[in-house]
Amino acid sequence: MTRSPIRPVSLQDLRRIADTLAALRSRTVSGAVMRSDRRQLRVEMADGQLLVVGVDLDEAGRPQLEVDVIRPPVEHGNQLEVRFETA
d(CA 82, CA 65): 43
Residues 6+ apart with CB under 8 A from 54: 39, 40, 41, 65, 66, 67
Domain boundaries, the chain: 29-71
Please give the backbone phi and psi of residue 73, each rounded to the nearest 5 degrees, phi first: -65, 145
Would you place residue 5 in the very low, low, confident or very high pLDDT band (cuts 50, 70, 90)? low
pTM for this predicted structure: 0.65
Would you place residue 29 in the very low, low, confident or very high pLDDT band (cuts 50, 70, 90)? very high
One-character DSSP codes across 8-29: PPPHHHHHHHHHHHHTTTTPPE
The answer to whether 17 touches 65, Cβ cutoff 8 Å, is yes
